[in-house]
């Protein structure tokens, strides 16, 4: 099946939308004829249980920021929380019968089809909870003969690997166009997306230099620009940005130094005469 997209030039010129982001995305599907490949019930840690989300469960849970995030997520795609509880589908993992740690919910249901949305609280990620809760969700939908769709970004490896792990099949790749209302945010997103993800540093630099003329630079901004300058051979300029990054404040100095010493992107800088000065500056500015 061929999918056709309007060119970005059409979107920019005819719809008058400037500098949209062409997001590469994937679409996975699961229907009643597909076999669920993941046995989600085996090996669950004893303090965790999996439940269908309903009003009784929500009332029994301890109030947490993550629980409030779930309610906000539901309200963002449904008319109300009650509307979701009446018509939607959701499953979650609960720790010690009180604390919700993740969820898989229907973003919408129409014509007896649904799209799944998944989230796991930060302390419980990469422990298999997402696969289990999604499998529980899909198992229920399969019994009800409800096909499930799964959209994700092409670069979100954790998402599409989870989809494939539990038995969804890729239906297609496609491009979605995103444009932020906030001009500064849109410039920033274009800078890293074009420059780093699409590996077009020249275009990424165009966006980030325009962005930096409009805002007060932060450490993360200059760190990204340095990574865009390196592929273009502007090693000294990249080093200047990294030195300024130290002055502006590092969130994690140890990880920053490790990246400088080990990440392939920074390899060309390691032979520069001033590179030891950068390492010394980190050490002196952030003594352990």
Give the model confidence (pLDDT) of 28-41 as tens digits: 999 777 777 789 99
- The 3-state DSSP class for residue 104 equals strand
* Domain assignment of residue 266, given as a range: 183-285
The CATH number covering residue 94 comes to: 3.40.630.30
Calculate what percentage of the chain has a pLDDT beyond 70. 95
Residues 6+ apart with CB under 8 A from 216: none
SS3 65: helix
Provide the percentage of residues in the chain whose pLDDT is more than 90.
Answer: 82
Per-residue confidence at 1, pLDDT binned at 50, 70, 90? very low
Chain segment 40-75, per-residue pLDDT in tens: 999 999 999 999 999 999 999 999 999 999 999 999
The pLDDT value given to residue 9: 66
Asked if the model's pLDDT at residue 4 lies above 50, the reply is no
Is the full-model pTM beyond 0.85?
A: no
Q: Which of 178, 196, 213 is the last residue of a domain?
A: 178
Q: Do 174 and 42 belong to one domain?
A: yes
Please count the structural domains in the chain: 2
Q: Give the number of other CB atoms < 10 A from CB of residue 86.
A: 11
For residue 15, the tally of other CB atoms under 10 A from its CB is 12
Q: What is the CATH number of the domain that holds 190?
A: 1.25.40.10
Query: What pLDDT digit, counting tens, does each position of 149-158 carry?
Result: 999 998 899 9
The phi and psi torsions of 111 (rounded to 5 degrees) equal 50, 40
pLDDT at residue 188 in the model: 96
Same domain, 78 and 135: yes
**pLDDT greater than 60 at residue 5:** no
> Same domain for 50 and 173?
yes
CA-CA-CA-CA torsion for 31, 139, 135, 56, nearest 10 degrees? 130
Helix ranges (DSSP H) in the chain: 8-13, 55-60, 65-77, 81-87, 129-143, 157-165, 183-192, 201-212, 219-229, 235-248, 253-262, 275-285
Q: What is the DSSP letter of 288?
A: -
Shared-domain flag, residues 189 and 84: no
The predicted-structure confidence for 254-288, as pLDDT tens digits, reads as follows 999 999 999 999 999 999 999 999 999 999 999 87
pLDDT at 6 over 60: no
Q: For residue 94, give the 3-state DSSP assignment.
A: strand
Q: pLDDT tens digit string along 95-114?
A: 999 999 999 999 999 888 99
Residue 3 has pLDDT above 70, yes or no: no
Instruction: Output the six-digit token pair for 244.
Output: 């300024």
Q: Are 195 and 201 in contact (CB under 8 A)?
A: yes
Average pLDDT for the chain? 92
Domain boundary among 178, 201, 218: 178
* Cα gap 237→240, rounded to integer Å: 5
In terms of domains, do 158 and 196 share one? Answer: no
State the helix-helix crossing angle for 219-229 and 183-192, rounded to 10 degrees. 40
């Amino acid at each position: 099946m061929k999918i056709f997209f309007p060119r970005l030039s059409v979107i920019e010129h005819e719809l008058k939308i400037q500098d949209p982001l062409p997001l590469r995305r994937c679409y996975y599907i699961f229907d009643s004829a597909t076999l669920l490949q993941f046995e989600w019930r085996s090996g669950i840690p004893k303090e965790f249980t999996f439940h269908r989300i309903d009003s009784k469960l929500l009332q029994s849970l301890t109030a947490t920021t993550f629980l409030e995030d779930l309610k906000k997520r539901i309200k963002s795609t449904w008319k109300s929380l009650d509307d979701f509880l009446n018509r939607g589908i959701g499953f979650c993992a609960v720790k010690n019968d009180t604390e919700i740690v993740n969820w898989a919910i229907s973003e919408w249901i129409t014509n007896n089809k649904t799209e799944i949305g998944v989230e796991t609280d930060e302390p419980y990620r990469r422990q298999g909870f997402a696969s289990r809760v999604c499998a529980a969700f899909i198992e229920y939908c399969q019994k009800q003969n409800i096909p499930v769709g799964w959209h994700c970004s092409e670069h979100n490896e954790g998402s599409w690997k989870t989809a494939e792990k539990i038995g969804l099949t890729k239906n297609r790749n496609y491009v979605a166009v995103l444009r932020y209302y906030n001009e500064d945010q849109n410039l920033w997103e274009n800078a890293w997306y074009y420059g780093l993800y699409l590996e077009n540093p020249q275009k990424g630099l165009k966006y980030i230099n325009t962005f930096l003329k409009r805002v007060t630079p932060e450490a993360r901004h200059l760190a990204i620009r340095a990574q865009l300058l390196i592929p273009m051979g502007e090693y000294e300029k990249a080093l200047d940005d990294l030195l300024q990054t130290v002055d502006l404040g590092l969130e994690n100095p140890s990880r920053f130094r490790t990246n400088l010493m080990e990440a392939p992107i920074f390899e060309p800088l390691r032979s520069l005469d001033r590179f030891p000065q950068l390492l010394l500056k980190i050490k002196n500015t952030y003594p352990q």
